[in-house]
Amino acid sequence: MSDSVIDRDRINTPQIQLEDEARNQLIMMWKFDPTLEDKVFRFSIDGKGCDGFDYACGFDVAHDEDFKVLVEGSENKFFAFDPFAARYMPFVQLDFKQDFQNNTEGFVVTNLAQTDFKGKFWRKDPTKELPLKGQQ
């Protein structure tokens, strides 16, 4: 049972647009790294500025209150969102970029609903507030 004050029942399970490069990278990592075998790939909110939220992602243990989404192309691997992230990340795109010229690579998270959560959005539209237990 969760001690969360967030009303999980009033939050929709996020939808994920998984790009081929990201899918291939995830499946390869799960296949060849035994330390990831029982892990989920978690999306989280990592801060907020005037332009909206900042995001993070990575492998983690699953929690009871998580929203879990099956990774397309796998039989038992999941994406996970805690209720807070699920509320504010309803439509997510995940890609994987490799730029050998600039020596950078990694997963790229895009919240396709980012424009809905810029500035002090909850003051303008109370329906975008986090649903808490005991509130209507």
Quote the number of domains for the chain. 1
Q: What average pLDDT does the segment 88-98 reach?
A: 97
Residue 50 and residue 119 in contact, taking contact as beta carbons nearer than 8 Å? yes
Query: Is 3 among the domain residues?
Result: no
Per residue, what are the HEC states of 7-32? CHHHCCCCEEEECHHHHHHHHHHHHH
Say which residues have a Cβ less than 8 Å from residue 32's Cβ, sequence separation at least 6: none
In tens, the pLDDT along 55-83 reads: 999 999 999 999 999 999 888 999 999 99
Q: What average pLDDT does the segment 6-18 reach?
A: 96
Please give the residue range of the domain that contains residue 48: 14-122
Query: Is 1 among the domain residues?
Result: no
Query: Is 6 among the domain residues?
Result: no
Q: Write down the pTM of the prediction.
A: 0.90
CA-atom Rg of the chain in angstroms: 16
* CATH code of the domain containing 28: 2.60.300.12
Token pair belonging to 35: 């330390």
Query: Is 129 among the domain residues?
Result: no
